[in-house]
Amino acid sequence: MNNLISLDSLTDIVSNSVGILIIFAVINLIHDDSKTYQLEIPIEHATELKPIFFIAKGDRILPINMTKIFESTTVQITQGMSENKRIFPLDYFGLYGQVDSKENSGISFHVHDISQWSKTQALEKNTSALHKSITHIDPKTQFAYFFVYDSDDETASNGFEAFRQARKYLKKYHIKTGWQPVSAENPMIICDEAFNESCTYLPAYLGKDTP
The residues that touch other proteins, with contacts defined as CB under 8 A, are 16, 20, 23-24, 27, 31, 38-39, 41, 45-51, 66-67, 70-71, 73-75, 77-78, 82-83, 99-101, 103-107, 141, 150-152, 181, 183, 185-186, 189-199, 201, 203, 205, 211
Q: How far is the CB of 141 from other proteins (least distance, A)?
A: 6
74-81, Cβ contacts within 8 angstroms, sequence gap of 24 or more: none
Q: Which residue number, 7 or 48, has a Cβ lying nearer to other proteins?
A: 48
Q: How far is the CB of 105 from other proteins (least distance, A)?
A: 5
* Exposure of 33 in the CB half-sphere (CA atoms within 13 A): 6
Q: How far is the CB of 186 from other proteins (least distance, A)?
A: 7
Q: How far is the CB of 125 from other proteins (least distance, A)?
A: 28
Q: What is d(CA 141, CA 203) in angstroms, rounded to the nearest whole number?
A: 12
Q: Which residue number, 66 or 129, has a Cβ lying nearer to other proteins?
A: 66
Q: What is d(CA 162, CA 62) in angstroms, rounded to the nearest whole number?
A: 11
Q: Which residue number, 6 or 101, has a Cβ lying nearer to other proteins?
A: 101
Q: How far is the CB of 72 from other proteins (least distance, A)?
A: 10
Q: Which residue number, 120 or 157, has a Cβ lying nearer to other proteins?
A: 157
Instruction: Provide the pairing of β-strand 50-57 with 142-149.
Output: parallel
Identity at 124, one-letter amino acid code: E
Q: Which residue number, 122 or 190, has a Cβ lying nearer to other proteins?
A: 190
Q: Under DSSP, is residue 151 helix (H, G, I), strand (E, B) or coil? A: coil
> Where does the chain have alpha helices with state H?
8-38, 66-78, 129-135, 160-172
DSSP code at position 124: G
